[in-house]
């Protein structure tokens, strides 16, 4: 009997000791997880605690960014680090309520995981929160470069950020700080200027306002020399090709902006599809690890572009993943192959093809950004800073200011501008009454679109509506019937380009009637000329187009760029309510054969208008 009780006593003591050890182990694990949730401790302490608690599966998941085809359950199961909306994907009816509901479901799933790490939801908000119905659409960057207003850049960032927060989106794939050096490039519209000094000047207030004031993570893109690629006559393209330039030019022209962005605190950098001297940027360890993270001291994380690692000339996904991660890319944007990419990362670590230190560095960078941006506490952003409604009149007024400042007056014979408010104006041209054309690409969808049968592509006002509004208030007359044009005092012709984005916008011609020029440009110009009236031409475009042969027939010429949703502001400047103040942020070529032509060139090429040109007018009224 004594032996029985002694045996049971020993068993009881062992059980108690095991229970205590288990409890202590649980408490240790609990301490670890609770420590990184403690906002009173430092970011580094929270980060260290979190990293110690992570498995390889969880680390690999954090390095992946999927498209919206990944469900909230997928986010939970695979510990995904990010989800993004491609240019043609949106929830429900693409309204604010649809977006905030979707983002909340994603975040709830992420926060319900073992470690509760929030996702970053990314989107290309490159001229306003442009993917969502009803938002304010600002002029594309080329117009903002012509405005050259740093305070305006801060205001634009604030409006964009507030509308993003209203939809629950916390990561902007912007600003694009490309320095476009050849106007045939379809992304020229996304570039502030051919001059890196102006680009650097404008990117800083945008980044600081977006991140520091509104808590939206910004992205400097596309690293590096996306705007320095050369035209390929065989493929008739320039986008995503090779920048065959010296390192001196690379640094002076194309990396200078990244140095400013890093100093401004930008949290993410996106790699370019293009290559530099034959080496794909997505596998260029020297540019990413040595220059960006080393020399420039970038502490945030590097993300690939849309399936960008597939630009790496390797036989399979595994080798592409290994090359990209070892080159320094921290997060992989893989809309279609995110599961396979997670598997590839884990396999590469187990095989030793990717060192665990590189994985830890990538994940630490990603998590540091999430911690620094307060996503663990407010994964949907600070809702106190959210726009109460999308497209408010107050925010649209800031967009109108941007339009006014971006317009560049290039010719003004006999001071025909500003127009008299009581004048009879004949307004014609395919871009006169079309919000979609004004907004260009990256508006609701990737390639944008045009108004159809009176239905606007997105909410906004057209240039023609602006003319009518002013005329009605001031006893003027707007004529749109060409049969009545002879009764007018002046003809205003609004011509332009079809909406486009990226390589779809590559155009080796840049004429007014070929390539991506709008159908109807030629007819409208001929009609206006036939009236015998003074002709004012407004060009709506994402870059300079060749107008050398036509401009002699125009009394005035205005570059309106892609003004966005507030087209009526164009009319306000032409009528003299506000003065012309914009200056060319790109050299205007006289002939496409001159390209590339840029400020500071010593080629002796004579442009139609030099960089920085722009006539001024005073307010008539």
Structural contact between residues 46 and 35, judged by C-beta atoms closer than 8 angstroms: yes
| pLDDT score of 24 more than 60 | no
Q: Is residue 110 part of a domain?
A: yes
Q: What's the burial of 105, exposed, middle or buried (CB within 10 Å: 0-12/13-18/19+)? A: middle
How, if at all, do strands 424-428 and 477-479 pair?
Answer: parallel
Residue 124 CA: distances (Å) to CA of 156, 176, 196, 221, 353: 15, 10, 22, 11, 33
Statement to judge: residues 115 and 165 lie in one domain: yes
Residues in the chain: 621
pLDDT at res. 10: 54
pLDDT at res. 198: 98
> What's the 3-state SS for 497-509?
ECCCCHHHHCCCC
Q: How confident is the model at residue 386 (pLDDT cuts 50, 70, 90)?
A: very high
Q: Is residue 209 part of a domain?
A: yes
Tell me the Ramachandran region of residue 452: left when phi exceeds 0, alpha when psi lies from -120 to 50, beta otherwise: beta
136: closest CA among 449, 450, 565?
A: 565
Q: How far apart are the C-alpha atoms of 274 and 282, rounded to whole Å?
A: 8
Q: Is residue 186 part of a domain?
A: yes
Q: How far apart are the C-alpha atoms of 587 and 186, rounded to whole Å?
A: 16
Q: How many domains does the chain have?
A: 2
- The last residue of one of the domains, among 343, 361, 385, is 385
Structural contact between residues 412 and 464, judged by C-beta atoms closer than 8 angstroms: no
Q: Is residue 330 part of a domain?
A: no
pLDDT at res. 20: 57
Statement to judge: residues 145 and 265 lie in one domain: yes
Statement to judge: residues 378 and 422 lie in one domain: no
Structural contact between residues 189 and 178, judged by C-beta atoms closer than 8 angstroms: no
Structural contact between residues 257 and 220, judged by C-beta atoms closer than 8 angstroms: yes
Statement to judge: residues 484 and 523 lie in one domain: yes
CA 113 to chain centre: 31
| pLDDT score of 149 more than 60 | yes
Structural contact between residues 132 and 168, judged by C-beta atoms closer than 8 angstroms: no
User: Who's near 495: CB < 8 A, 6+ residues apart?
Assistant: 429, 430, 431, 512, 517, 518, 520, 521, 524, 525, 537, 538, 539, 540
| pLDDT score of 7 more than 60 | no
pLDDT at res. 345: 98
* Cis peptide bond N-terminal to 418, omega within 30: yes
| pLDDT score of 32 more than 70 | no
Statement to judge: residues 424 and 506 lie in one domain: yes
524: closest CA among 449, 432, 411?
A: 432
| pLDDT score of 14 more than 50 | no
Phi, psi of 218 (to 5 degrees): -100, 160
User: Who's near 329: CB < 8 A, 6+ residues apart?
Assistant: 271, 282, 288, 302, 303, 304, 309, 362
* 580-620 pLDDT, tens digit each: 999 999 999 999 999 999 999 998 999 999 999 999 986 54
* 82-136 pLDDT, tens digit each: 999 998 999 999 999 999 999 999 999 999 999 999 999 999 999 999 999 999 9
Q: How confident is the model at residue 76 (pLDDT cuts 50, 70, 90)?
A: very high
**Span between the terminal Cα atoms of the chain, in Å:** 112
**Average of pLDDT values for 344-364?**
98
Edge-first strand order for the sheet with 301-303 is: 219-223, 268-271, 301-303
* 450-498 pLDDT, tens digit each: 999 999 999 999 999 999 999 999 999 999 999 999 999 999 999 999 9
Residue 472 CA: distances (Å) to CA of 344, 428, 459, 468, 475: 65, 18, 22, 6, 6
139: closest CA among 459, 542, 575, 579?
A: 542
| Token output for 22 | 């288990």
CATH of the domain at 465: 3.40.50.1700
Q: Is residue 200 part of a domain?
A: yes
Q: Is residue 478 part of a domain?
A: yes
Residue 77 CA: distances (Å) to CA of 72, 126, 170, 218, 318: 9, 32, 22, 27, 22
| Average pLDDT of the chain to the nearest whole number | 95
Statement to judge: residues 179 and 255 lie in one domain: yes
DSSP-derived letter for residue 291 is I
Statement to judge: residues 381 and 255 lie in one domain: yes
Q: How far apart are the C-alpha atoms of 174 and 176, rounded to whole Å?
A: 5
| Higher pLDDT among residues 11 and 525, named by residue | 525
pLDDT at res. 26: 45
pLDDT at res. 16: 54
Statement to judge: residues 246 and 103 lie in one domain: yes
How, if at all, do strands 120-123 and 82-84 pair?
Answer: parallel
Q: Is residue 15 part of a domain?
A: no
Q: How far apart are the C-alpha atoms of 577 and 62, rounded to whole Å?
A: 52
How, if at all, do strands 275-276 and 279-280 pair?
Answer: antiparallel
Statement to judge: residues 295 and 428 lie in one domain: no
Coil, strand or helix at 510: coil
* 526-569 pLDDT, tens digit each: 999 999 999 999 999 999 999 999 999 999 999 999 999 999 99
Strand partners, 185: none
Coil, strand or helix at 127: coil
- The last residue of one of the domains, among 385, 411, 439, is 385
- 547: domain range? 400-594
Q: How far apart are the C-alpha atoms of 94 and 73, rounded to whole Å?
A: 22
Q: How far apart are the C-alpha atoms of 147 and 138, rounded to whole Å?
A: 12
CATH of the domain at 173: 3.20.20.300
| pLDDT score of 2 more than 60 | no
Structural contact between residues 174 and 594, judged by C-beta atoms closer than 8 angstroms: no
Statement to judge: residues 378 and 457 lie in one domain: no
Q: Is residue 76 part of a domain?
A: yes
Statement to judge: residues 379 and 404 lie in one domain: no
DSSP-derived letter for residue 590 is S
Planar angle of CA 584, 586, 587, nearest 5 degrees: 95
Structural contact between residues 266 and 200, judged by C-beta atoms closer than 8 angstroms: no
Q: Active-site residue numbers? A: 305, 502
Statement to judge: residues 463 and 539 lie in one domain: yes
Phi, psi of 442 (to 5 degrees): 55, 45
């Amino acid at each position: 009997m004594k032996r029985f009780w002694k045996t049971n006593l020993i068993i009881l003591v062992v059980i108690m000791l095991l229970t205590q050890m288990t409890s202590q182990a649980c408490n240790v694990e609990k301490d670890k997880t609770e420590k990184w949730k403690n906002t009173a401790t430092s970011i580094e302490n929270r980060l260290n605690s979190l990293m110690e608690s992570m498995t390889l599966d969880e680390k690999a998941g954090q390095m992946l960014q999927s498209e919206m085809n990944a469900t909230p359950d997928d986010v939970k199961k695979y510990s995904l680090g990010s989800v993004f909306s491609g240019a043609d994907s949106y929830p429900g009816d693409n309204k604010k309520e649809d977006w905030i509901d979707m983002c909340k479901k994603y975040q709830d799933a992420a926060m319900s995981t073992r470690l509760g790490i929030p996702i970053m939801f990314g989107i290309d908000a490159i001229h306003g929160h442009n993917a969502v119905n009803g938002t304010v659409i600002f002029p594309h960057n080329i117009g903002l470069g012509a405005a050259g207003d740093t305070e305006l850049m801060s205001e634009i960032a604030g409006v964009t950020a507030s509308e993003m927060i209203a939809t629950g989106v916390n990561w902007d794939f912007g600003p694009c700080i490309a320095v476009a050096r050849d106007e045939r490039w379809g992304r020229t519209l996304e570039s502030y200027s051919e001059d890196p000094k102006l680009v650097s000047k404008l990117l800083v207030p945008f980044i600081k306002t977006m991140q520091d004031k509104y808590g939206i993570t910004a992205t400097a893109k596309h690293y590096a020399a996306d705007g320095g690629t050369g035209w390929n006559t065989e493929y008739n393209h320039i986008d995503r090709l090779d920048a065959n330039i010296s390192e001196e030019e690379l640094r002076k022209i194309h990396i200078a902006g990244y140095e400013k962005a890093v100093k401004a605190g930008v949290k993410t950098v996106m790699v370019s599809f293009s290559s530099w001297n034959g080496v794909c940027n997505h596998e260029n360890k020297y540019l990413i690890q040595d220059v960006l993270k080393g020399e420039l001291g970038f502490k945030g994380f590097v993300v690939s572009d849309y399936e960008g690692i597939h630009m790496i000339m390797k036989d399979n996904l595994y080798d592409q993943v290994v090359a990209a991660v070892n080159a320094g890319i921290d997060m992989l944007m893989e809309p279609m192959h995110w599961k396979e990419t997670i598997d590839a990362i884990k396999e590469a670590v187990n095989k030793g093809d990717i060192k665990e230190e590189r994985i830890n560095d990538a994940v630490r960078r990603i998590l540091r950004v999430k911690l620094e941006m307060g996503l663990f506490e407010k994964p949907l952003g600070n809702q106190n800073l959210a726009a109460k409604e999308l497209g408010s009149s107050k925010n649209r007024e800031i967009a109108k200011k941007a339009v006014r400042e971006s317009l560049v007056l290039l010719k003004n014979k006999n001071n025909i501008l500003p127009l008299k408010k009581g004048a009879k104006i004949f307004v014609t041209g395919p871009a006169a009454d079309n919000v979609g054309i004004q907004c260009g690409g990256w508006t609701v969808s990737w390639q944008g679109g045009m108004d159809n049968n009176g239905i606007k592509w997105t909410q906004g006002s057209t240039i023609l509506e602006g003319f009518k509004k002013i005329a009605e208030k001031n006893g003027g007359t707007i004529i749109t019937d060409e049969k009545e044009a002879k009764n007018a005092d002046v003809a205003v012709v609004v011509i332009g380009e079809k909406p486009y984005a990226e390589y779809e916008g590559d155009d080796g011609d840049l004429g007014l009637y070929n390539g991506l020029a709008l159908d109807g440009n030629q007819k409208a110009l001929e009609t206006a000329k036939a009236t015998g009236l003074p002709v004012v031409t407004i060009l709506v475009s994402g870059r300079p187009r060749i107008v050398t042969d036509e401009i002699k027939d125009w009394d005035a010429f205005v570059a309106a760029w892609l003004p966005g949703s507030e087209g009526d502001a164009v009319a306000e400047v032409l009528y003299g309510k506000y003065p012309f103040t914009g200056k060319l942020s790109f050299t205007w070529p006289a002939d496409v054969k001159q390209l590339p032509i840029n400020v500071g060139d010593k080629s002796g090429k004579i442009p139609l208008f030099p960089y920085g040109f722009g006539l001024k007018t005073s307010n008539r009224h």
